[in-house]
Amino acid sequence: MSRTAELAAAHPGVSLWERGREYREGRAWATNASLILLGLTLIRLTRQFISENDHFTIGNSGAAGWSVVVYMAAVLIILTQPTDKWTLRIILAMAVLCRLVPLYEDPFLSSDIYRYVWDGVVQHAHINPYRYIASDPALKFLQDPYIDEFKNMNRRDYAHTIYPPVAQMIYYCVTFVAPSVEGMKTAMVGFECLAVGAMVALLKRIGRPVEQVLLYAWCPLLIWEIGDAGHIDAAVIGFVAVALLYRAKGRDALVGLFLGLAFLTKFYPIVLFPALWRRGDWKMPTVIVGLTAFCYALYSSVGRGVLGFLGEYQHEEGMDTGARYFLLQLVDSWRGSAANAALSKQALAAQAHGFQVFALLIMAAISWWAWKHATIEGSVDAGGRRLPVGDEPNFLKAATMFAIALMLLFSPHYAWYIAWLIPFFCLAPRLPMFAYICGFFYLYTTALADPGPKMFLLNKILYGGTLGFFLLYLLLQKWPVHRWLHPGWRLSPRLDTARKV
């Protein structure tokens, strides 16, 4: 007699789906076996990505596309299938192996890491990294010993370093131990370990399966942009993840410390301040202000030069003319090319400023929501009620909204800029963010990733697809037909312990 027939005989009058539930929930071994197979495939695709740099076979877009397929399958499995004590170990082991593959390879997607190493060795020579451009004759004594870093560095002939003080401190510490690209990559993977540890702790605290950390650890965008390119955004991710954890614990001063560290590594995480600040709290803002003053004071010998290439970068990226904002470009495209060509520089600048005001209004609206709903999960709110554990904390909702709104408004052209969204997707998985992250990663490895009309088309596809998935998400929230396929499938971040064995 088959297993299905046995279940039918044992449970008369029960639906076929319910009869099979007991059998499915006892099959965590199948989940683990599937994850091992998918993990090994992801490792192979990472190796394929490395080989594409020298021997073109399927192209970077081919390796990226298949990596997205594997990642999607793994996400579907981990959100719907039973797990056991081995599942998390498999997830973390495969994540580490994926990052080891590109660790000792030359970075291909970006040359930013060479600047990191250079800034570190300049500081070891007791020179303020903001004082000279890399090609300045005053640094000739460093150019020859570190010729690879010097030659491969971008903007070495005209740009001062752009990275804030905490980033410079990280470069100093890493190059003290290992002044090399491999050493810097290893440090960035270390920050990812910090992020994973914080996310596992936070998932436990809010009552969600810790295996959900796969959504972060297996994301191919991170394997490429941090494992291969070694971007400093890994430190931002680590600091933000710890700040979120301490926010859940109600440790205001530590929230300020780690959010301040993230802000002083790359400026954009400061948008999370309204989401993580509690009404009446003075510790968090005081720590951020004090940390900022202290860190900038350490490099203040160059005066205003401590801002580095920041102002020129804004012009180079078209922020002052609006050329970099896709949503503004989309509005311009409706007006017609002839009308746009007639606009003066002043008119373009005014238009860009208008869009920036619009962006600030969006952020203000999210700030108002965060202010109205500010709570700490598992603690007592302003009305004296103890908050339930398991549902998504309001501070996490607000932080997610700030992060995704900034990226959609800013419309970055580089995949590492959106890397910091992935922890939010891990902690609170949503279909639209999943579509945006995977779509961005894949599209920016295709021939469309070329500034100009092609990139405009790329963004139309990306934003249009994300909007479509957002509408689908709303429909499925109202009419959850997806649960007909599998009752464990979750499109919203709600507590689901039934699938845990």
Phi, psi of 251 (to 5 degrees): -95, 85
Give the pLDDT of residue 9. Answer: 55
Alpha carbons 5 and 222: distance in angstroms, whole number:
46
| CA torsion, ordered 100, 103, 109, 114, to nearest 10 deg | 160
Question: How many C-beta neighbours within 10 Å does residue 106 have?
Answer: 15
Say what the pLDDT of residue 219 is: 97
**Rounded CA gap, 77 and 72, in Å?**
9
Q: What pLDDT is recorded for position 325?
A: 87
Say if residue 452's pLDDT is above 90.
Answer: no
**CB-based contacts of 296: which residues, under 8 Å, 6+ apart?**
165, 306
What integer pLDDT is reported at residue 310 of this predicted model? 77
State the pLDDT at residue 195. 97
Supply the angle between the helices 252-263 and 233-249 in degrees, to the nearest 10.
Answer: 170
- Provide the 10 A C-beta neighbour count for residue 352: 19
Task: Residue 421: name the closest of 466, 378, 387, 390 by CA.
Answer: 466
What is the pLDDT at residue 20? 42
pLDDT of residue 91: 97
Percent of the chain past pLDDT 90, that is, above it, reads 62
Give the model's pLDDT for residue 484. 60
Measured between alpha carbons, how far is 374 from 377 in angstroms, rounded to an integer? 10
Cα→Cα distances 437→232, 234, 324, Å:
19, 16, 19
- Report the chain's mean pLDDT, rounded to a whole number: 85
Structure letter (DSSP) for residue 132: S
Tokens of 173: 């510490």
Q: For a pLDDT cut of 70, what percent of the chain falls above it? A: 84
The span from the CA of 346 to the CA of 129, in Å, is 35
Phi, psi of 56 (to 5 degrees): -65, 125
Q: What is the pLDDT of residues 35-89, one digit of tens each?
A: 999 999 999 999 999 888 777 777 889 999 999 999 999 999 999 888 889 999 9
Question: How far is 284 from 406, CA to CA, in rounded Å?
Answer: 22
Q: Write down the pLDDT at residue 7.
A: 44
pLDDT at 405: 95
Using pLDDT thresholds of 50, 70 and 90, give the confidence band for residue 278: confident
pTM: 0.88
- Residue-wise pLDDT tens digits, 186-211: 999 999 999 999 999 999 998 899 99
- 377-434 per-position pLDDT tens digit: 444 343 434 445 445 788 999 999 999 999 999 999 899 999 999 999 999 999 999 9
Q: Tell me which residue of 249, 255, 261 sits closest to 276, measured CA to CA.
A: 255
pLDDT tens for residues 15-39? 444 444 444 445 889 999 999 999 9
